[in-house]
Amino acid sequence: MQFYSFSGENLHRSFQREFNVSKSKSFEEKAVRAAVIYQQSASEAAPHGSNAAEKSPQAQIADELKISQPQVSRLLAHARKEGWLRERIEIVVDEIPGDLQVLVDRNLPSLQEAIQQFGCSASIWSGPNATFHQFAATELLTILRPSRLVGVAWGHNVSKSVAYLDRGAEPTFPVACIPVSGDPVFALAQDKDKHYHSTAIAQNLQSRIGDKEDLPTLSGVPSYIPSRFENKKRDVILEFIHTFPGYESIFGSEKSKYHISKVDTLITGIGTTKSDDPGTFVRERLLQEPKLKDKIPKISIGDIAGVLIAASDKQTRSQKDELERLNKRFVGITIQHIRDIAENARTSNQPGVIVITTSTSRSAEKAQVIRRALEMRLINHLIVPLVIASKLI
């Protein structure tokens, strides 16, 4: 269950005494009011299993303050940043599916503590799936504040979370958002949703939290060069791609202020390989090279930001070489870039690598990919639902 509590017993009373909320235009006053409504909604929620019509706290805030859902996310993020609204996770045994209750029975440490052993913090959502992306948006606003150069990878969940951020509302961040991978052109041709690729999400995020700025894009850059273009031809194709101004700015000269080496934050999803419905960049490889269908799951458990990661450290030399070969054909961020962003964050106040993913029928497979990425210390902050987090320990 998701709970919020206030810092300061008399905040609600003093707020009502000092402010006329219905007429207030102040951002901070609205943030306090949003926190008050959220707390009241959480404490007055209809009992589980009742027939009462339930409205989410975010929806109640939007109705009472007559604002949009993205604005609600921004107000709650501000309230949490100021310490007015505090979150805690409480495990309620009666509400937990039977196969998960063993986590409580064995007196295992909290999920957050278990994840922290990998140098990673976690935002765990235990509410309904329908409101996960609103929660993720609120978390992002808080996490991103120290960021200056944000790399955006890909992902339906990343795209949907960014969409809940309010466009152009104050306060904005002194931040630049850039894409870090080319377009999965074959996968995009099959999908109805065309807005989850790196450039589209980066531009959307910039328009919502950053200043208006002419930033590099990777539009028109393919994310994968298939093996039918042997190494010399691949190198020629990459040489041509470097003539694209956006690609050269991000992956070319280190003098560029948008160079990948200067990225302090990476937002990404994760993908699986051992499924009939693999991650986007795994699917992109398979659409171009169907012969990889049986090979990829044997050498990789999944991908982070489009980069395939090994299933374990116990690989043969040929498996390591094949994984390296496939990743060299990916156009964009590399495993070393991801590792550098994550490690730099551990010695600074920057967010580092943020992974956002939600529960599906493949929650166990996604948890395996996340667990492996945690073992490789590639993640600094995880935004996931309880059903995935509980499978990490």
Where in the chain are the domains?
Answer: 2-90, 111-389
What pLDDT was estimated at residue 175?
Answer: 92
pLDDT at 189: 79
On whether the CB atoms of residues 294 and 270 are closer than 8 A, the answer is no
State phi, psi for 369 to the nearest 5 degrees: -65, -45
Low-confidence stretches of the chain (pLDDT < 50) are 1-25, 45-53, 88-95, 103-109
Q: Looking at the domain covering 111-389, what would its CATH class be?
A: alpha beta
Distance from C-alpha of 381 to C-alpha of 353, rounded to nearest angstrom: 6
| CA dist., res. 342 & res. 367, Å (int) | 19
- Determine the pLDDT at residue 55: 67
pTM assigned to the model: 0.75
Residue 13: the pLDDT is 39
Give strand ranges (E) for the chain.
2-6, 85-89, 121-125, 149-152, 176-179, 265-268, 270-272, 300-304, 307-310, 352-356, 381-385
What does the pLDDT read at residue 92?
Answer: 44
